[in-house]
Amino acid sequence: PADENVYIMFTSGSTGTPKGVQVTRKNLQSFLNNMMEFIDFEPGYISAQVHDLSFDFSVFQVFFPMITGGTNCVVPEEEKFCPSDFIIREEINLWSSVPTIAEMMNKLSALEAASFPSLKYSIFCGEPLHQKTADAWMLAAPNSTVENYYGPTETTVFVSRYVYMETDSARKFHNNIVPIGKPFTDHQMVLIDEENKVVGKKEVGEIAISGSQVAKGYLNEPEKTQSVFVYMPCDSSDSIWYKTGDLAKYNESGNLEYVSRKDNQIKFAGRRIEIGEIESILRGKIKGEDAVVVPHRDDSGI
């Protein structure tokens, strides 16, 4: 049945217990159908798998080559932070990863001009993609598109897309971050305020998403599910919308630009972490004392 769980992906939970996102067959099928519209390969192409199975990005990396006749080539553990030799050696055609890996390669001067001629598609998702990184990747992979995808685990991997163009290099995007673009055609994204009302055209709001990739909710957590999988006042149908906690705004070309989180969730090398989860575990260990976790951004390079 279409609404049967096909996998349960655990993500960080602010109360100390991870939340299990229930993804159904229908969700996965819709996601893969959408991706097949964007990525056009003859069977026999080579795709790279860099993310492990506990990260929803891996769902794309495992299933997409499987259903389209590609070869999935797993990046060896020791090359994961700088896979440039791997891409060249294995003649990878489809690269996908969190931007952190590309940033690391750039810092290590491993994105030399035209060094990845075999790449046709380069897909980034999971955290903000900086224009500087997209520009460097574009130069290193001259035969490839550079695409920024966006999506939480709760909407089955990716749900919006922006194709970065050479001319975008000179454009001024919010915080120099590549836009997250527009939702997949069978999805809707709206920006809402605290009362779930759609904000004005130029205002920043929380992204809410509806469509066939919206998951069934959290496993055995009806309250948590009801707090973020909701009906929306702007929608008279019985569609469920997922409230992402991500703040965004529209730019002049109608593409969404990521602004920030509205809560304490952070991304560490692309992985989603609730600060509250670490605090709660620390509180359990140091009985009678309080604990506060403050994320520290290291901008010093490597």
Residue type, 139: L
Interface map 255-294 toward ligand AMP (x if CB under 6 A): ---x--x-----x----x----------------------
Closer Cβ to ligand AMP, 45 or 136, answer by number: 136
Q: Is 150 in the site for ligand AMP (CB under 6 A)?
A: yes
DSSP state of 200: P
Closer Cβ to ligand AMP, 267 or 283, answer by number: 267
| CB 117, min distance to ligand AMP, A | 26
Spatial separation of the C-alpha atoms in residues 206 and 191, rounded to whole Å: 5
Task: Return the residues of window 18-57 that contact ligand AMP according to CB under 6 A.
Answer: 56
First to last CA, the chain: 48
Interface map 168-207 toward ligand AMP (x if CB under 6 A): ------------x---------------------------
Closer Cβ to ligand AMP, 97 or 106, answer by number: 97
Residue 113 structure tokens: 């001009």
Angle formed at CA 180 by CA 176 and CA 184, multiple of 5 degrees: 165
| CB 126, min distance to ligand AMP, A | 5
Order of strands across the sheet that contains 46-49: 71-74, 46-49, 94-97, 121-124, 145-150, 160-164, 182-183
For residue 103, the SS3 value is: helix
Interface map 228-257 toward ligand AMP (x if CB under 6 A): ----------------x-x-----------
Closer Cβ to ligand AMP, 119 or 180, answer by number: 180
Closer Cβ to ligand AMP, 45 or 205, answer by number: 205
Nearest to 18 by CA among 278, 269, 264, 207: 278
Only one residue has tokens 């590549």, namely: 178
Angle formed at CA 32 by CA 87 and CA 254, multiple of 5 degrees: 90
List 153, 156, 212, 213, residue binding ligand AMP (CB under 6 A): 153
Do residues 49 and 72 touch, judged by C-beta distance below 8 A? yes
Residues that bind ligand AMP (CB under 6 A): 11, 56, 125-129, 148, 150, 152-153, 180, 244, 246, 258, 261, 267, 272
